[in-house]
Chain A
């Protein structure tokens, strides 16, 4: 069974940093590209970042480019999202999602990030 478990969310002041983690199990993690997708309270889904299975290609949404860094450790079956210079509008539930042929076939339960002064 595919399992994705996010962690690292919490309350943070504007300008602060936070690192999210996603622990993967139940599939060959190193063979799949991965994504972060977020959802602000009461709002729709927004794709955030993508990393190819071999770490060869990384892409970001314009809204987070230059502030967020996606990375992965295939030996640890883990995906990460380093979030710096956080803003109020980064408040959201952050999901890690497995990428299979350019769609998201498995999602974690999400971790809530709240940016507030």
Chain B
């Protein structure tokens, strides 16, 4: 089972926007509208930030948004804040393999 491809790191200054890509295949990201994103701060448990490509759970800031085009999903963080510094993982349902995670992206606030 392969993982979804994410950039190892992205960075931005406070107030800026950053976008994290998550590239899969036509068997996972491209086939199902079941991409989710998780934030993991150092030493903490992963937290659901986006589900079903674009939906935000209650309590998650509207500065976080998701999208998808073809086999690539994206997470955009607008108005970057120091508290957004964390690792972010995408995940897609993939039927036979069931769930695939991305390799993770470290977001640094400069």
The SS class assigned to the B binding surface is strand
* Interface 9-residue window, one of A44-52, A72-80, A83-91: A44-52
The proximity string for A residues 9-38 relative to B, scoring 1 for CB distances below 8 Å and 0 otherwise, is: 000000000000000000000000001010
For residue B84, which residues in chain A have a CB less than 8 angstroms away from its CB? none
Q: Which of A40-61 contact B (CB under 8 A)?
A: 44-47, 50, 59, 61
Indicate if the CB atoms of A103 and B34 lie closer than 8 Å: yes
Indicate if the CB atoms of A103 and B48 lie closer than 8 Å: yes
Does chain A have a CB within 8 A of B104? yes
CB closest residue in chain B, given A59: B98
Indicate if the CB atoms of A104 and B102 lie closer than 8 Å: no
Q: Report the count of interface residues on A (CB-CB < 8 A).
A: 22
Contacts A101-B51, A110-B45; is A45 near B93 (CB within 8 Å)?
no
Indicate if the CB atoms of B99 and A95 lie closer than 8 Å: no
